[in-house]
Amino acid sequence: MSYFKPNIDAMTAYVPGIQPGPGTIKLNANENPYPPSPKAWEAFAHVSDEELRVYPDPAAKVFTAVVSEILGVPQSRILAGNGSDNVLAAIIHAAGGPIAIPSPTFPYYQTLADVEGATIIEVDTNERFNVDFDALAKVQAAVTFLANPNNPTGVAATVEQIDALAGQLGGLLIVDEAYCDFTDITALPLVDKHPNLIVTRTLSKGYSLASLRLGFAVAQESLIASLFKAMEIYNLSTPTIKAGAAAYADQDHKNANAAKILASRNALATELASREWDVIPSEANFLLAAPPERNGEAVYEQLKAKGIFVRYFKQPRLADYLRITIGTDEQNKTLLAAL
């Protein structure tokens, strides 16, 4: 017997990247290899006793004011959450299903559908992992997810493709821009035009703050107002709000790290290609690449034995490949030497 709903009993739990601990090289969760802005910790450490004593601001206005200023989007169009995953969950709580996703994509969308008991429809990408936009539009789901650039492939769709899709869909289109700090492509300017479009972003990747848990959505006012109702109240602590605001304000720090990562990514892609690896062109801070023998799992295990953790997905389409997060140049050198 069970105390829970049948969909919870039936679902498999989300499998995160292994957290291997000190002395290892962790290239398995697309974290930023560089430290966050020192201003984040400064803000975090200077929260007062009084600020800890009282409840935080449910609207996180200190944070959304900075985002508003930097992105040129009114605060009424921004909703902050405990990581972008928290915002995505609120969207599914509020909108339900059916849910359409390209395949392969970020596995958390499946988890959200499972928890909600919503139907999920997967639309296969082509052999180079490009999204089939016509097929995705035809599903006409209540919610369509598009991670752009996509995870785990690194492939990005164009703004024109997203614009056309948003126009064709009767339901919501969620453009998950977790990796927007590593590409020039963004759907943000389309929010004005499409009342069904939600763009989500996070401080976990570009801002080196995966542990802080802070992300946000940008959409037209009425969508943001509805989603706010579906969020847990007080889901962001005052230290998180203040540290996030300070980190977001420090665009120079984020941009400098992103530039280093892009240079390293391009160098690693070139080197792997010269070793006959099949490298999928990436717009993100990771590479999806298959060794020449297409023995992804064996190479994953061999690297793991040497204390280098990359991500392996034992599933159709991905079984040949490894997803390698771009590390520091030192880490990438160690990786290449091990390979």
Query: What does the buried/exposed string (b/e) look like for 33-69 if buried means 16 or more CB atoms within 10 Å of the residue's CB?
Result: beebbebbeebbeebeeeeeeeebeebbebbbebbbe
Among 85, 181, 250, 283, binds ligand PLP (CB under 6 A): 85
Q: Is 325 in the site for ligand PLP (CB under 6 A)?
A: no
Part in contact with ligand PLP (CB under 6 A); list of ranges 4-12, 80-88, 91-99, 229-237: 80-88
Q: SS3 breakdown of the chain: % helix, strand, coil, rounded to 5?
A: 40, 15, 45
Q: Are 151 and 178 in contact (CB under 8 A)?
A: yes
> ∠153-154-155 over CA atoms, to 5°?
90
Structure tokens belonging to residue 53: 């004593």
Q: Is 83 in the site for ligand PLP (CB under 6 A)?
A: yes
Nearer to ligand PLP among residue 29 and residue 319 (C-beta): 29
Nearer to ligand PLP among residue 151 and residue 238 (C-beta): 151
Among 44, 63, 106, 248, binds ligand PLP (CB under 6 A): 106
Among 103, 144, 204, 208, binds ligand PLP (CB under 6 A): 204
Report the nearest approach of ligand PLP to the CB of residue 184 (Å): 18
Alpha helices in the chain (DSSP H): 6-10, 38-45, 49-53, 61-71, 84-95, 108-116, 133-139, 159-168, 221-230, 238-249, 251-274, 296-305, 329-338
Residues in the chain: 339
Report the nearest approach of ligand PLP to the CB of residue 204 (Å): 3
Strand arrangement, sheet containing 286-290: 278-279, 286-290, 322-325
Q: Is 218 in the site for ligand PLP (CB under 6 A)?
A: no
Q: How far apart are CA 153 and CA 311, in angstroms?
A: 12
Q: Is 212 in the site for ligand PLP (CB under 6 A)?
A: no
Q: Is 178 in the site for ligand PLP (CB under 6 A)?
A: yes
Site track 29-58 with ligand PLP (rule: CB under 6 A), x = hit: -x----------------------------
Q: Are 290 and 323 in contact (CB under 8 A)?
A: no
Report the nearest approach of ligand PLP to the CB of residue 147 (Å): 4
- The footprint of ligand PLP on this chain (CB under 6 A) covers a number of residues equal to 14
Nearer to ligand PLP among residue 84 and residue 291 (C-beta): 84
Q: Which residues bind ligand PLP (CB under 6 A)?
A: 30, 83-85, 106, 147, 151, 176, 178, 202, 204-205, 210, 215
